[in-house]
């Protein structure tokens, strides 16, 4: 198995789970996920390693999703948040959208500051909806250690979040 296939296997669920929130059918989400990985493979030489691969992949997916929605002339919410589009005109106000984007940005920023050992289990569990046992297998870490990392990571996030709110 090539290194890219390993990466694809590791991150395919993350991209697909987010695409599933954005598209009406599972087939569209699967097609989108495949397109993202094709573009990622074609752009692999541009990856400089200044960020995690998952962050870079997410950016590719986000730009691709924006392009798809602009082409279809559909409004788009923040990809890394709960992706959805408004079917009618009674959507959230501009202030609500900006507040949600600011909250999402703050949360992503705080997660990126977590130690790597806490970051990946939290992302896999809460953003990809992977079961703890599967995360333990994927990361080759004992289940109780995964539980501990998630708990400690959440504690840090709560602490940091409260400081962000107070600021």
pLDDT (tens digit, 9 = 90+) per residue, 100-127?
656 666 777 788 888 989 988 988 888 7
pLDDT of residue 99: 54
Give 13-68 pLDDT, tens digit per residue: 888 887 877 777 888 888 988 988 888 888 888 877 777 777 788 888 888 877 77
Q: Which domains does the chain have, with CATH numbers?
A: 1-84 (1.10.1740.10), 92-167 (1.10.10.10)
What does the pLDDT average to over 129-133? 88
Instruction: Give one DSSP letter per residue of the chain, joined into a string.
Output: --HHHHHHHHHHHHHHHHHHHHSSSHHHHHHHHHHHHHHHHHTGGG--SSS-HHHHHHHHHHHHHHHHHHHTT-----TTS-----SSS----HHHHHHHHHHHHHHHHHHHHS-HHHHHHHIIIIIS---HHHHHHHHT--HHHHHHHHHHHHHHHHHHHHHHHH-
**Residue 80: per-residue pLDDT:** 37
Tell me: pLDDT of 90 over 60. Answer: no
Tens of pLDDT, residue by residue over 72-89, are 655 444 433 433 332 233
């Amino acid at each position: 198995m090539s290194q890219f296939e390993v990466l694809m296997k590791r991150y395919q669920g993350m991209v697909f789970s987010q695409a599933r929130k954005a598209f009406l059918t599972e087939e569209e989400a699967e097609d989108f996920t495949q397109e993202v990985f094709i573009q990622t493979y074609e752009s692999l030489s541009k990856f400089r390693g200044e960020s995690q691969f998952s962050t870079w992949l997410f950016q590719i997916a986000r730009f691709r999703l924006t392009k798809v929605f602009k082409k279809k002339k559909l409004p788009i919410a923040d990809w890394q948040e709960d992706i959805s589009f408004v079917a009618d005109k009674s959507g959230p106000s501009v202030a609500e959208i900006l507040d949600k984007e600011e909250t999402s940005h703050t949360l992503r920023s705080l997660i990126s500051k977590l130690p790597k050992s806490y970051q990946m289990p939290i992302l896999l569990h809460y953003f990809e909806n992977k079961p703890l046992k599967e995360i333990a297998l994927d990361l080759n870490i004992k289940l109780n250690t995964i539980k501990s990392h998630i708990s400690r990571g959440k504690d840090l996030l709560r602490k940091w979040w409260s400081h962000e709110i107070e600021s």
